[in-house]
Amino acid sequence: MSLSIRFVVLFFKTITTLICRIDSAGSERVPAHGPLIIYTNHVNVLEIPIIFTRLQPRKMHGMVLAERWNIPVLSWMLDVAQTIPLHRAEADIGAIRKGLEVLKRGEMIIISPEGTRSHDGKLQAAHPGVVLLALHSQAPLLPVAYHGAENWKVNIKNLRRTDFHMEFGHPFHLETRGEKVTHTVREKMMDEMMVQLARLLPTEYRGYYARAPAEGEKYLEFV
């Protein structure tokens, strides 16, 4: 690990520890080695630095909106962490190619399929771009859900720490079952993936995916 990345990890771990009391239930389900796609909900700015620092020393790469590189200091940190810029589109082919290279090296990717922050913690409709990444790489997927930190800014003003919960699911693969992967099929796969994520959240946070969990998922093969 380079000196620069050590500094970034120490900086964010110190800051997030001061701000939050972090509970990471099930983090032992993250494989110790091999390619992995972690997909998460997106509530606010705390999540990426928290999960990035808590899963060290595993090498991981976030997929972050390209606009974030417009902020000078943040752009340096993103480059140090070898973050992959993601342009606003259903499927950013350039980002997917970079992601495939990372996974081929046996490293991890973290991505938020919702594409934008919810702020209130309730799940929003997801974009199916991550499905292409999973199918082409054949890497396992792992859902990780965040909740409890929606009011962290208010807590800081009142000099209170925030309870930040990370819930880890179980790894699985996407299976096509021989079916042609159309746009409709990708959306169905994404829906099933997001149902797995929703199951990790308290009911009030399930939002767009608050429907009853699907029975007998068609495309998910648990490891």
Counted domains in the chain: 1
218 — pLDDT class (breaks 50, 70, 90): confident
- pTM here is 0.91
Is the pLDDT reported for residue 215 higher than 60? no
Q: What integer pLDDT is reported at residue 214 of this predicted model?
A: 55
Q: Which residue has the tokens 């930190």?
A: 149
Q: Residue 37 maps to which CATH number?
A: 3.40.1130
Q: What integer pLDDT is reported at residue 209 of this predicted model?
A: 94
Q: Which residue has the tokens 């810029």?
A: 85
Average pLDDT, the chain: 90
Least confident of 17-21, 77-81, 179-183: 77-81
Is the pLDDT reported for residue 166 higher than 60? yes
213 — pLDDT class (breaks 50, 70, 90): low
21-63 pLDDT tens trace? 999 888 999 999 999 999 999 999 899 899 999 998 888 898 8
- Which distant-in-sequence residues (6+ apart) come within 8 Å of 13 by Cβ? 49, 53, 54
Q: What integer pLDDT is reported at residue 47 of this predicted model?
A: 92
13 — pLDDT class (breaks 50, 70, 90): very high
**Residue 98, domain extent:** 3-222
Q: What integer pLDDT is reported at residue 129 of this predicted model?
A: 87
- Rounded to whole angstroms, how far apart are CA atoms 106 and 152? 34
Least confident of 19-23, 78-82, 162-166: 78-82
Is the pLDDT reported for residue 83 higher than 70? yes
Higher per-residue confidence, 103 vs 178: 103
98 — pLDDT class (breaks 50, 70, 90): very high
4 — pLDDT class (breaks 50, 70, 90): confident
